[in-house]
């Protein structure tokens, strides 16, 4: 029996749908291995960038923007929140530290709500624009995932970061889109973080610091854009908001 949507969706849409499936896998993995879950979040981020490339070269469909936002809710809203909740639950038990565990779950819920609201507004107001208002969900998810892989798994730190990102996603701070060459660099570093465990299994002599180095590099790049992008990244024909123009 042919699927109803098989003829209506394009190749870019298939990549987007796969992104959502990876987000689900990250949620499941968070209950078993938080490092694996973090890498799956990064894999979803790579797929999120890839669907845009495919859409530019192979064309897109009217459903594309809606599918993209739906997939992003799973991969960059629910999955990072589940990751943080799992790290907090692994580090603290509800019996001994109920307030922190409850805060971790609550911050995750707030993060998901903010991601849903932001992505919905993005689809309505900003699709196709070269800048976006509020911290992008993909950026927030990348920072949280890279932090976990780099070893920053203190429950209080992650809870605070998750709550802060929820507020920043709803802020009025304007971020320009990454330039193509910078997005490529970010994707390559993300891919390196993802495949490093396979490299260690294939070559036991591969130093452990190589994987850690890629994770720290990703955290450095993403935090750099998070903190400096709204003020210093404008260029390449993109005009800064009036308040930032000199």
The band of 149, judged by pLDDT with boundaries at 50, 70 and 90, is very high
Q: For residue 39, what is the domain's CATH number?
A: 1.20.120
Structure confidence at residue 246 (pLDDT): 44
The number of distinct structural domains making up the chain is 1
Q: What is the pTM of this model?
A: 0.88
What tens digit of pLDDT does each residue of 5-14 get? 666 677 787 8
Structure confidence at residue 206 (pLDDT): 59
Q: In this model, does residue 208 exceed pLDDT 80? A: no
The answer as to whether 6 is a domain residue is no
Structural domain for 226, as ranges: 11-233
From the list 184, 139, 158, 10, the residue with the least C-alpha distance to 91 is 158
**184 vs 58, residue with greater confidence:** 184
Query: Can you tell me the distance from the alpha carbon of 158 to that of 154, in angstroms, rounded to the nearest whole number?
Result: 6
Q: In whole angstroms, how large is the CA radius of gyration of the chain?
A: 18
The band of 90, judged by pLDDT with boundaries at 50, 70 and 90, is confident
The answer as to whether 223 is a domain residue is yes
The answer as to whether 244 is a domain residue is no
């Amino acid at each position: 029996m042919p699927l109803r949507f098989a003829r209506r969706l394009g190749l870019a849409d298939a990549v987007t749908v796969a992104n959502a499936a990876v987000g689900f896998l990250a949620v499941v993995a968070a209950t078993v291995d938080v490092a694996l879950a973090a890498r799956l979040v990064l894999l979803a981020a790579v797929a999120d960038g890839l669907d845009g490339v495919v859409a530019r070269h192979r064309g897109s469909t009217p459903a594309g923007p809606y599918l993209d936002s739906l997939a992003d809710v799973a991969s960059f809203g629910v999955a990072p929140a589940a990751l943080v909740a799992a790290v907090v639950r692994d580090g603290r038990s509800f019996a001994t530290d109920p307030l922190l565990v409850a805060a971790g779950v609550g911050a995750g819920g707030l993060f998901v709500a903010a991601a849903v609201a932001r992505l919905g507004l993005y689809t309505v107001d900003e699709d196709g624009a070269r800048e976006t208002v509020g911290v992008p969900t993909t950026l927030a998810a990348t920072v949280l995932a890279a932090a976990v892989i780099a070893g920053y798994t203190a429950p209080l730190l992650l809870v605070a970061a998750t709550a802060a990102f929820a507020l920043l996603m709803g802020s009025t701070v304007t971020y320009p889109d990454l330039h193509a060459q910078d997005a490529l660099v970010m994707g390559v570093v993300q891919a390196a973080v993802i495949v490093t465990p396979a490299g260690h299994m294939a070559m036991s002599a591969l130093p452990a610091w190589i994987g850690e180095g890629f994770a720290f590099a990703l955290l450095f790049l993403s935090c750099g854009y998070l903190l400096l992008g709204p003020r210093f990244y404008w260029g390449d024909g993109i005009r800064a908001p009036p308040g930032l123009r000199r």
